[in-house]
A and B are shown apart, each in its own frame.
Chain A
């Protein structure tokens, strides 16, 4: 079997590239950020390990034109093409699949991603796709499914591997049931960095203060909490699973010693907590990896890491800590099922900063209930956190209902959507009814990003230099130009592009 795991270059009319990876929010960027799609990379590794011929085919990361990407894919003559999608690019993918099936009728096209996972019938109805995978554990599904297809001519009717929606013939589709099992993650192999051209993802990524950086094989699939209504890691069929600490430490050591990686980020929805987090940090220290000049980064939630754990992370040379501050008012936090209290955010940020970590806030605006008071509270809280120096960087996006998350369904059920055209879901504009005009949310974004240029913020960053920490000097003098460029990029995408 010849299997291509493909990410076509998707470029909009402004020449911006759609970043579709990690099952994360798709946004168009002039200067793209390259995120390695970890689970698909594990799938590629696993399939290769069982003898499947793999084409790692990320047209975005290769920075090649669409036509070149498509021609090369056809020339390779794959038996199977695996795609990953999300709401804003569904229509693009449906057109692509139809063209692919016309040009390569025998090729099996498999759709993955949270949108099609939630709405498999839709993709089967709107395209000639052969299979939709109903799980984000695509590596666990594919390592069974691909050999099965190779061994069974009548796989469309006989295959009973869970988590598939299969086109049987022109009129019939069938489901093999929900993929809901809890997997032992250690079964899945570490990402083979060479197979997936890891250096293509090693430089253009705002999460890295030092390069080359890379994403670790995630220690947790889905989310230990998994209840935030806007998030894809939410659903009764999703139950998080955890990778063993030792296996992950082995990978970190290999990345540092064999690949010369300078920064490692684990993009698990939420990283370890409690004793597991401490054991990991102790493992880094015991192996001496904290003295190699390499930084480590994670996603976490407010309320998850206590001071003792954060202190240990600081000692182990963790730096980047990405945490969602979706809003600052209690009502919004309740509606989003965030599971923490506003005061916990301050306390946690103070701890992160005390132990030398660089907290990065991810903020959203434009909830269909967000009034002036709520919006101002969020703006003022974010500015206060940045001026106090307890948050170092931030990103702000419009909260866009996507992928039939609970928030998306809630917006539909309550008649809050302004559009049902998936092309409009690219996060460049407000697509729900809001109490304030869209310009108010765009202005809020400008105000929050504008903090980066504010003298109070710059002065606070200068005061960090007194700590003598290398990372603070790097942040001030090496990273700032890159950050400013990204700020400009974000502001353009979220406030200017939508008005063109």
Chain B
């Protein structure tokens, strides 16, 4: 059931980069639609933060991928939690997911920046039969979190700092050189600027606004 509870125990907490970790918690039958997010915070801390669910709807746990930005006390505190610690969780929220009448033959393109990959992993993990492609914008290939999980023919990294990915440059530069199918359903998730710029590129390619779903991470 959709619920709030002060007792969601941490099962694991693993740093996958110096500033990025995956926190796994109990699920308690928590129902969600892949792509949705929750609010997550320390028990009794008085603050929380929105995080997209990283795990699939068939997993018996919940996972979230968290990047610690400078000055982010909430994320720092979450990163320090050990298994057995409790978190406060509420949700799920949001409509950033496949539509109820989605036809699996429709090509789906996911554009992510950094940890904006989270909702897409959840969607793919839950509905692996969709015809998807991911374009993941990162600084360097090592930031392409969980790359091994995706079909390598459907996953592409755009590295803005190093040239060790599939493409050297930002997602928007890649979009200037590649055309997205005109019948695609497109999801964009990342910072406000990334979402705005990617949106603009796709509109320029002729995709209609009704085909474009956005989620801003902040």
Kindly state whether residue B160 has any CB partner on chain A within 8 Å.
no
Are A306 and B47 touching (Cβ within 8 A)?
A: yes
Are B199 and A306 touching (Cβ within 8 A)?
A: no
Are B208 and A177 touching (Cβ within 8 A)?
A: yes
Give the residue of A178, A181, A225, A278 whose beta carbon is less than 8 angstroms from that of B50.
Answer: A225
Q: How far is A102 from B181 in the complex, measured between Cα atoms in Å?
A: 47
State which residues 168-218 of B face A: CB under 8 Å.
Answer: 192-193, 195-196, 199-200, 203, 208-210, 212-216, 218
Q: How far is A427 from B94 in the complex, measured between Cα atoms in Å?
A: 27
Give the residue of A274, A278, A330 whose beta carbon is less than 8 angstroms from that of B4.
Answer: A330
Are A303 and B41 touching (Cβ within 8 A)?
A: yes
Are B195 and A340 touching (Cβ within 8 A)?
A: no
Count of interface residues, chain A, beta-carbon cutoff 8 Å: 40
Are B95 and A348 touching (Cβ within 8 A)?
A: no
Query: B108 to nearest A CB, angstroms?
Result: 16
Are A344 and B46 touching (Cβ within 8 A)?
A: yes
Are A181 and B193 touching (Cβ within 8 A)?
A: no
Kindly supply a per-residue 1/0 record for chain B positions 28-63, scoring 1 wherever the CB is within 8 Å of any chain A CB and 0 otherwise: 000000000001010011111010000000000000
Q: How far is A286 from B95 in the complex, measured between Cα atoms in Å?
A: 40
Q: How far is A344 from B4 in the complex, measured between Cα atoms in Å?
A: 12
Kindly state whether residue A337 has any CB partner on chain B within 8 Å.
yes
Q: How far is A344 from B200 in the complex, measured between Cα atoms in Å?
A: 39
Q: How far is A399 from B2 in the complex, measured between Cα atoms in Å?
A: 22
Q: A182 with B94: in contact, given A242-B218, A308-B73 (CB under 8 Å)?
A: no
Q: Which residues of chain B are near A351, meaning CB under 8 Å?
A: 46
Query: B76 to nearest A CB, angstroms?
Result: 11
Query: B171 to nearest A CB, angstroms?
Result: 14
Q: Which residues of chain A are near B46, meaning CB under 8 Å?
A: 303, 306-307, 344, 347-348, 351
Are B192 and A303 touching (Cβ within 8 A)?
A: no
State which residues 177-222 of A face B: CB under 8 Å.
Answer: 177-184
Q: Which residues of chain A are near B90, meaning CB under 8 Å?
A: 333-334, 338-341
Give the residue of A178, A304, A337 whose beta carbon is less than 8 angstroms from that of B47.
Answer: A304
Query: Which residue on A lies nearest to B2, using beta carbons?
Result: A334
Kindly state whether residue A241 has any CB partner on chain B within 8 Å.
yes
State which residues 351-386 of A face B: CB under 8 Å.
Answer: 351
Interface of chain A, helix or strand or loop or mixed?
A: loop
Number of A-B pairs, beta carbon distance below 8 Å: 105
Q: How far is A307 from B199 in the complex, measured between Cα atoms in Å?
A: 36
Q: How large, as a class, is the contact surface on chain B? A: 35 or more
Q: How far is A333 from B39 in the complex, measured between Cα atoms in Å?
A: 13
Are B71 and A275 touching (Cβ within 8 A)?
A: yes
Q: A242 with B192: in contact, given A182-B199, A275-B69, A275-B72 (CB under 8 Å)?
A: yes
Are B47 and A305 touching (Cβ within 8 A)?
A: yes
Query: Which residue on B lies nearest to A239, using beta carbons?
Result: B214
State which residues 1-32 of B face A: CB under 8 Å.
Answer: 2-4, 6
Query: Which residue on B lies nearest to A240, using beta carbons?
Result: B216
Among A240, A343, A351, max chain B CB count under 10 A is at A343
Q: Which residues of chain A are near B3, meaning CB under 8 Å?
A: 334
Are A178 and B210 touching (Cβ within 8 A)?
A: yes
Kindly supply a per-residue 1/0 record for chain B positions 99-138, scoring 1 wherever the CB is within 8 Å of any chain A CB and 0 otherwise: 0000000000000000000000000000000000000000
Give the residue of A162, A334, A347 whose beta carbon is less than 8 angstroms from that of B209.
Answer: A162
Q: How far is A196 from B93 in the complex, measured between Cα atoms in Å?
A: 38
Q: How far is A236 from B98 in the complex, measured between Cα atoms in Å?
A: 12
Q: Which residues of chain B are near A337, meaning CB under 8 Å?
A: 91, 93
Closest 9 pairs between A and B when the two form their complex, measured CB to CB: A347-B46, A227-B93, A236-B95, A275-B71, A303-B48, A339-B39, A182-B196, A306-B47, A180-B209
Enumerate 11 A-B pairs (CB-CB under 8 Å) in ascending A order. Answer: A162-B209, A177-B209, A179-B209, A182-B199, A182-B216, A242-B192, A303-B41, A334-B90, A339-B50, A348-B47, A351-B46
Q: A274-B74, A304-B47 are in contact. List 15 more A-B contacts (CB 8 A).
A: A162-B209, A178-B210, A180-B210, A180-B212, A184-B192, A224-B50, A241-B192, A241-B196, A242-B192, A303-B46, A333-B90, A334-B2, A339-B39, A339-B91, A348-B46
